[in-house]
Amino acid sequence: MKGLYITPTDIVKYNGVAKKILSQIKALKENNIDIELCYINIEKEDIVRKIYKKNISLESYCYKKNKILKKIILNMYVYFYKKLKEYILKNNIEFVYIRYIYSGNYKFIKFLKILKRNGIKIILEIPTYPYDKELSSMGVMGRIKLLQDKYYRNQLKNYADKIVTYSEDKNIYGISCINISNGIDLEEITLINKKKKESINFISVSTCFFWHGIDRFLYSLLQYRKNGGKEKIKFHIVGEGSETPKLKKIIEENIELQDIVIFHGFKSGEELDEIYNNSDIALGSLGFHRINLEKGSTLKMREYCAKGIPFVVGYDDTSFSKDLPFYYQVFNDESLLDIEKIIEWYKNLKITPEKIRKYAEDNLTWDKQMKKVINNI
């Protein structure tokens, strides 16, 4: 079966989402699906829709290094489908797998209608559901996109065959769901090589959005220090995003944190591995309540598990039960974390990194998750 994976993500930047998409593609290919990837590449002056690893460019728009124009084009990019449609029909694509990110608009619906008329199966993946609160938090442009999406998403049931969701919903917008969890490519993730050190090292690897709740952990560390906490602690923040300036300001305003927190910026490969090797406890998202979510299936939790590092999280993860020894769950609200109890939990752990990784090998691969999709195409 021949398919096309369509995403508005810039794969070249190879962030967490890009790694996920490429791992999904790899899993589909390993299950004998002939799949190509269509993505958006942000170049020096142009935003181009391309076919991955092929010298093929579809829609292209010049923003002339103007940041405002660039933002407008990226937000409006979902309106342009003419060349993409022609490519799909010319290459006898049998199904499309579309990463749906607030894409509802007239042109998108028209695009789906043409595909449906030509007998092409349509699978939509919604990375986060529900997403209304997340979108409404993204300023004026986000609220405009939300209003537009609300109007058009109820038409999706006329064209989409299935929705892939990481939630437990069985039906979204009148469309039956394929329920999966985020997965990992174990070949891309090496086991942690722990180093002896005097301090307990926490690590957060993320794009630093407000729902990651890193500020909540900083204030928890601050309370621990003010209450006379004696354990020597380091907190490694890896990644950058919209929350980074706020997090740095918290550090500047609180001298108690200035010898604890280290901002590494974006890291990957051996540099990231080295930070992991010096870490003891990883942090999952601690702010899901801020976007009205109680449950989730985040990539970083699976990567932590594959690295063999225990983790703390603030929501119910669909792939982990609370009785797992390496999984520590806190309340999904703004309450401060009890650092003393977390340290005690960590010191009493009797599980090895190898055994934590074994759980990932048995339960969290993309191969297992994408087979659920293949069985529904």
CATH number of residue 32's parent domain: 3.40.50.2000
pLDDT at 131: 86
Q: Do 178 and 277 share a domain, yes or no?
A: no
Residue listed under structure tokens 């070949």:
187
Q: Are 219 and 345 part of one and the same domain?
A: yes
Query: Do 77 and 226 share a domain, yes or no?
Result: no
Give per-residue pLDDT as tens, 359-374.
999 999 999 999 999 9
Domain check: are 236 and 350 in the same one?
A: yes
Token digits of residue 263: 């901002």
Q: Which residues of the chain have pLDDT under 50?
A: 77-78
For residue 31, give its domain range: 2-186+366-374
**Based on the domain organization, do 237 and 358 belong to the same domain?**
yes
As for how many domains the chain has, the answer is 2
Q: Are residues 158 and 291 in the same domain?
A: no
Same domain for 170 and 57, yes or no, is yes
Taking the C-alpha atoms of residue 166 and residue 297, their distance in angstroms, rounded to an integer, is 6
Q: Across-strand partners of 7?
A: none
Residues 279 and 359 in one domain: yes
d(C-alpha 220, C-alpha 225), whole Å: 9
Query: For position 142, what pLDDT does the model report?
Result: 80
Q: What is the pLDDT of residue 63?
A: 63
Q: Are 27 and 171 in the same domain? A: yes
Residues 175 and 79 in one domain: yes
pLDDT value of position 76: 52
pTM of the predicted model as reported, rounded to 2 decimal places: 0.77
Q: Which residues, 6 or more positions from 34, have their beta carbon under 8 angstroms from its beta carbon?
A: 1, 2, 3
Identify whether residues 244 and 273 lie together within a single domain.
yes
Structure tokens of 204?
A: 């957060």
Output the CA torsion sign for 157, 367, 268, 243.
positive
Residues 370 and 358 in one domain: no
